[in-house]
Amino acid sequence: MMLAEIIDALQLEVLSGGEHLDRPLSGGYVSDMLSDVLAHAAPDCLWVTRQAHANVIAVASLLGLSAVVLVNCPVSPSVVDKAISEKLVLLKSNRLAFELVGELYNLGLRGCRRE
């Protein structure tokens, strides 16, 4: 599944990385704990979180994630600037995480985890 398909289907707001929407997704990962994501998220995953700070961008960039979806939280301009500098696709949704993940699953996206 391609990232652009998910964005279109769920009408996600693109905050940064609009030029990288042709990325493939290996699956999805949901967590608000950075240590959990560092230990388990796989490359090319779509990460769903409520955490909206610079460390999220750093972790996503380090792991080579396809994108981060920030759910139901404010996003500061400094976080968007960090995502732009890291060439990371940063998305936003006002849905609750539970609802968004259910919709992602219904679209055929499955969980991914690094072993």
Q: SS3 for 25?
A: coil
Q: Where do the structural domains in the chain lie, given as residue ranges?
A: 3-106
| 8-state DSSP, 90 | E
pLDDT of res. 76: 97
Q: SS3 for 58?
A: helix
Q: Which residues contact 107 (CB under 8 A, 6 or more apart)?
A: 1, 5, 6, 9, 10
pLDDT of res. 114: 86
Contact status, residue 57 vs residue 68, Cβ threshold 8 Å: yes
The pTM assigned to this predicted structure is 0.95
In the predicted structure, residue 115 carries a pLDDT above the cut 80: no
* Structure tokens belonging to residue 7: 């964005």
pLDDT of res. 78: 97
Q: What is the CATH number of domain 3-106?
A: 3.40.1390.20
pLDDT digits (tens, 9 = 90+) for 51-95: 999 999 999 999 999 999 999 999 999 999 999 999 999 999 999
